[in-house]
Each structure stands twice: as C-alpha cells, then as structure tokens.
Amino acid sequence: MKCGIKEQRSVKYNFDCKLYLVTEESTPTEELLPMIQKAVSGGVTLVQLREKTSDGKAFYEKALQVKRILDTLSIPLIINDRVDVALAVEAAGIHVGQTDLPIEAVKKIIPDSMIVGISAHTEEEALKAEKSGADYIGVGSVFPTSSKPDAKPLPHETLGRIKDSVSIPVVAIGGITEKNVEQLHPYQVDGIAVVSSITRADDPKLAAQLLLKNAFY
C-alpha cells in the first residue's frame, strides 16, 4: 500500500495513502491537534487539512501548527485547494478538485517534490488526472456522507472501473465507516479517506485501528 516516497525540503515522507484523514473545519484547533496525534497513533498515514471558509491567515496559522506535529511523526500534510498556503507552510502536498486550478497550472508553481492529488468522479477525469501528473486520485463519495450532504454517492462499479483504468493510487472517500468499508474489498483501492469516522469518534486511535483492520485484513 506504499504510494511512493517524495522528499520535501529536509523532511523525507513515506507517502502511504492507506488511511487518509481529512479534517473538519469546525473542529477547534485545541481539539484538532490532539485528535490528529491519537489518530496517527492508531494508524493514520496521511492528513489533509481541509478549510473551506477560513481566511488565508487563519488557514496558514492552523496549517503551521498541524505541520509541526505531523513532522515529528513523519506523516505528510496535504493542504486542500489552497496552493499558496501549501507553499507557505512547506506542506508535503496539495489536493485539488475539478473546479480548482488545473493540475498543469498547479505543477508550474510547486516544487517537483510536492505530492499532488485530485478528486475524480469518472474514468475520463481519472485518466486526465494521471496524464496531467497527479500522484493519486480521490474517488467518491462511495457512500452517503454527512460531511458533504449534497454529494451524490458514486456507484461502486464506477470506483472499480476507475481503479482499473489508472496506474496511480486510488483512494476511496465519502461516508466510509468501520461497518461499511468491507463493501469496498472487491475494488482493491489503495487507500480510504475518512472524516467523521475519526474526527467525531470518542477514541480516534481505536477508530483508526478498526478502519484499517476492516479495510485491509
């Protein structure tokens, strides 16, 4: 399940997308930081800081705090959407959506060492992402999700076709829990991305452990 190794400045990250934690903007920083530490101790391998409404300064300051913790744990920090914030804090990577800057444009302004991920919902989008130089693809929503209530669940057959059509890692996202993740076994995804299953868990460490156990046993 190793997705590769990329060297970012002086920190060498093991780019493993097996269990990908995406944060919730509503989580206060004083709760977010210990939650991330616990989740990593349970097996989280990659963390995306997702902020949709924060201004640049607030996003930057939160990202710095998260990165300090993750650097001590040798876990990559991925910044959602904001290339400027990712560059400013020297994050390990950036994740963009279909309506954000195209990957070709992103790659012109980031170092080659930076991980680039993109969301895709069709085989065509996935193939274009691979051709454009994406390091991984996030595919979903694979189940109904409270994090994005307007997201239409993607047929699992589509997930399978996307997985079969590209050679870069495919990460399933959207509504994944320890109880339903086994439904994804036939599609042999490279990783799962979760939000509330960990961020809202009473025990983030245990939640991460159970997700890994049920997803990749």
Q: Which residues are catalytic?
A: 50, 119, 148
Measured in whole angstroms, how far is the alpha carbon of residue 95 from the centre of its chain?
7
What's the one-letter identity of residue 137?
A: I
Tokens of 14: 């093991």
Q: Are 24 and 66 in contact (CB under 8 A)?
A: no
Measured in whole angstroms, how far is the alpha carbon of residue 91 from the centre of its chain?
13
Using the Cα atoms of residue 179, residue 216, residue 39 and residue 11 in order, give the sign of their dihedral.
negative
Question: What b-and-e string marks burial along 2-13, b requiring 16 or more CB atoms within 10 Å of the CB?
Answer: ebeebebeeeeb
Q: Which residues are annotated as a binding site for Mg(2+)?
A: 81, 100
Tokens of 94: 């950036």
Measured in whole angstroms, how far is the alpha carbon of residue 77 from the centre of its chain?
9
Tokens of 137: 């693809």
Q: Which residues are annotated as a binding site?
A: 48-52, 80-81, 100, 119, 145-148, 175, 195-196
